Structure 1
Amino acid sequence: MGKNIKEIIASYNDELVAIRRKLHKEPELSWQEFKTTQFVCDYLEQLNIPYRKTEPTGVIADITGGKQGKTVALRADMDALSVYELNRELEYHSQEDGKMHACGHDAHTAMLLIAAKALNEIKDELEGEVRLIFQPAEEVATGAKEMVRQGAVESVDNVFGIHIWSQIPSHKIQCAPGPSFASADLFKVIFKGRGGHAAMPHDTVDAVMIASSFALNVQTVVSRTVNPLRPAVLTIGKMEVGTRFNVIAENAVLEGTVRCFDVETRQHIEAQIHQYAEQIAAIYGGTAEVEYNYGTQAVINDKDSAELARQVIEQSFGEESYYLDDPTMGGEDFSFYLDKVPGCFALVGCGNAEKDSQWAHHHGRFNVDEDTLKVGSELFVQYAVNFLKRNN
């Protein structure tokens, strides 16, 4: 069946590219993927694949095989980003100013649709059921959790996801056991001092000094309080303080993110941020309020699932295609599926400087080497077929 799958996917390659380009031209932000949802539904309807819409956006579909067996789920996300596309020379560049598929979710959706078409073509040979999850709102880390709540992984035995990845060379695929993506939390620190005239600093509590001291010193949470064998990142990405040049600021607001791979480190950093903020504010005579919000959890690939993925990759694309690299500190809400069922998450390389597809995710020039789209589609199908075959 393996060779047959490759031929089927190859025969749909032009359609695969066309779907990806259509979706790229029509990006929709998180929880606004109404046209994309309808496009997916219309496509599945043409294939006579039963589906249901989730609320407010998203689609869950099922392909029932000719033989009874277990159920494997395949997931693709659909949302775009608030990024202005700089690739204006492309015929298929975003038609929505300030919105762009700058992370490859258009590719993911296209790959899963063609995978669905291929799986539907061979469904009589399937030894079980394939669940298709077209997920909204990955970029705001709430889509997967909501899809789970709406039954996406009910009666599912295993789940598999793919992310196109520009930091990996085209046609290479990474899917190792253990950590893949870090947890991604958000925090906000609100400092309050006492404002006043810039010429009279002795009558004030300067929020600029408090915020600056915190921004510098909080980095020692990682460098001096976290076990160096446990990777962690603490980044402050936004600071708002002051109103004009001759007014000492009364308030300051900082926002940042924390990334790590284990719960203990995550909780420790949260506690340290509270302590640093409160103590530093007190030194200057001010106060601090910390808002810490848990976002996505770490994506930890199940050992058996990742081993299956490795075997599928090597058998389908050659041993040289299997790629090993360090996990990323990026966040992915695929973790919420793995909370419920075992599975794994693969990165399909699309980085190719000759095709200008080496740009970082979320950059205005991000693009995909479209020759790799068929790799992702085939990987979806091959993983599903092999999981069902080996577990029934």
Structure 2
Amino acid sequence: MINIKLIDSELKDWAVKQRRYFHMYPELSGQEYQTAAYVRDRLKEFGLTPDLKFSTPNIVARFYGTEGKRTIALRADMDALPLQEEGNKAYTSTVSGVMHACGHDGHTAILLSVAKWITSHAEAIKNNIVFIFQSSEEESPSGAKKLVEEGVLDGVDAIYGVHLISDVPLGKIGFAEGFSMASSDDFDIIIEGVGGHGGNPQDAIDPIYIATHLIQAFQSVVSRNLHPLQAGVISIGGMQAGNSYNVIPHQVKIQGTIRAMTFETAQMMYVKTEQLTKSISASFGAKGHYDYIPGTPPLYNHPEACETAKKVIIDTFGEDAFLSLDPSMGAEDYSFYVKEKTGAFINVGMKSEKSSYPHHHPKFDIDEEAIPTAIELMIQFAIQG
């Protein structure tokens, strides 16, 4: 095994410089054209030609190894979030209301650095490598889903991705085997009743009152339909109804999310919430309209990829570096890749004084000491995957 723990300071400094550039010029989901152009130019400098068959602003490039018996895909996401950055960094976002608050600037810099290292050590790489710089992880429609539909995994044997994570200590690397992250699907509901005067409720069909029954009933989907050892969450994120003290509105709008740890659980929760919406509304004489919005499936870390990942982590960084993590009810569209191909999604810890704020917080920052670790990890996946 090639010892890449001795990645030189020049590559580390180069990676940090790239990360800070991406941080200063963030772009929202589906709008990462400047980021993509920058990535494309660097890849061309390394002798890699981006594949033009994939939709923009995604960037996909292939490296052909000395043997090419296996093809390993490596993925990074590029999009930022609609947040106003707070704090006094030297590399604060220059775009008002947009910032990298989830580490995607780091992920892009890491994969770009991996491409730089691999192309300069081409004789050491037997596998073919597919570099995936993906748009739109944070928003639907998913960039991963689109790339899979366009054939980005054709001929790929395994895929690996990393996420810099602020709730795992710096120096630790880990993952949950099997179903490790939840699905995330949304729904819109309209309860259509009959409006009326607040003093004469007998002449109305009150959709607000019906909504309270529906929200309570949704909790029974988890508590009385789901196995107690399985995970599922239904959360109501919004409700709009009326704007007066003494007027019963004619309708209520409800928005919510369904999260589940298996495909079967997600499907069951969808069916039950739709049934309850229609039946409870009808029982009060109202109409319940349910619109299901598919999002991302559960993320499944394949056992064989996990075995490779654990070996890489222990061999490269030592046994103490590995952490077996619990599954998370967070969601990630990397799940579309591992739904189709063998792969794993690995968390690289960076919790420290510098990286003390959670993801999606306006003061979020990366501890850049985690970046070389992630670069080493992804190079080893390219070699050993």
Q: Give the TM-score of the pair, scaled to structure 1.
A: 0.94
Cα shift at 1:59: 0.5
Match of 1:125 in 2: 124
Corresponding letter in the other structure for 1:348: V
How many angstroms apart in 1 are the aligned matches of 2:332 and 2:213? 31
Supply the distance in 1 between the matched residues of 2:83 and 2:328 (Cα, whole angstroms).
Answer: 22
Residue in 2 that maps onto 1:101: 100
Deviations 1:287-326 (A, max 9, x none): 1011112211111111111011001001111111101121
- TM-superposed CA distance for 1:10, in Å, is 4.1
Task: Specify which of 369, 376, 380 is matched with residue 382 of structure 1.
Answer: 380
1:188 aligns with 2:188: yes
Instruction: Tell me how far apart the structure 1 counterparts of residues 306 and 266 of structure 2 sit (CA, whole Å).
Output: 25
**SS at 1:366's partner residue?**
coil
Give the match for residue 331 of structure 1.
Answer: 331
Alpha-carbon separation, structure 1, partners of 2:276 and 2:24: 46
Q: Give the corresponding residue for 2:60.
A: 60
Equivalence for 2:314: 314
SS of equivalent residue, structure 2 residue 132: strand
Aligned residue number for residue 220 of structure 2: 220
Is the Cα–Cα contact under 8 Å of residues 300 and 339 in structure 2 kept in the other structure?
no
Greater shift, 104-113 or 276-285, is seen at 276-285
Partner of 2:303: 303
Checking the alignment, whether the CA contact within 8 Å between 1:173 and 1:346 is kept in structure 2 is yes
1:8 match: secondary structure: coil
**How far did 1:361 drift?**
1.6
Looking at structure 2, the residues matched to 273 and 283 of structure 1 have their Cα atoms a distance apart, in angstroms, of: 15
Cα–Cα, structure 1 residues 10 and 316, in superposed 2: closer, same or farther, change >3 Å? farther
Q: Note the alpha carbon deviations across 1:328-387, whole angstroms, 9 max, x for none.
A: 1111111111122211110111111x22x1322222222111110111111110111112
Tell me which moved more, 69-78 or 213-222. 213-222
Corresponding position of 1:287: 287
Contact 1:219 1:234 in 2 (8 A): yes
What residue number does 1:257 align with? 257
Q: Which residue of 1 aligns with 2:237?
A: 237
Unaligned runs of 5+ in 2: none
1:113 and 2:112 correspond: yes
Amino acid at match of 1:26: Y
Rounded to whole Å, the distance in 2 between the matches of 1:213 and 1:176 is 37
**Stretches of 4+ aligned residues off by more than 3 angstroms:** none
Query: Is the CA contact (8 Å cut-off) linking 1:9 and 1:374 kept in structure 2?
Result: no
Distance 1:326 1:121 in 2: 37
Report the equivalent of 2:357.
Answer: 359
Partner of 1:83: 83
Contact 1:71 1:157 in 2 (8 A): yes
For each residue in 1:53-111, what CA deviation from the matched residue of structure 2 results, as whole angstroms up to 9, or x when unmatched? 43231101111223332110000010111122223x11212222221211111110000
Residue in 2 that maps onto 1:44: 43
Whether contact under 8 Å (1:218, 1:273) holds in the other structure is yes
Identical-pair percentage: 38
Letter of the aligned partner of 1:311 in structure 2?
K
Which residue number in structure 2 is paired with residue 370 of structure 1? 368
Q: Which amino acid aligns with 1:129?
A: N
Displacement of 1:113 after TM fit?
Answer: 0.4
* Counterpart Cα distance in 2 of 1:303 and 1:9: 33
Q: Any conservation in 1 of the 2:162–2:348 contact (CA below 8 Å)?
A: yes
Q: Deviations over 1:242-283 (max 9, x none)?
A: 122332111111111111121221121111101221222223
Q: Distance in 2 between matches of 1:336 and 1:9?
A: 35
* Conserved? CA contact 1:193–1:285, under 8 Å: yes
**Superposed CA RMSD:** 1.5
What TM-score, normalized to structure 2?
0.96
**Alpha carbons 2:179, 2:262 under 8 Å: kept:** no
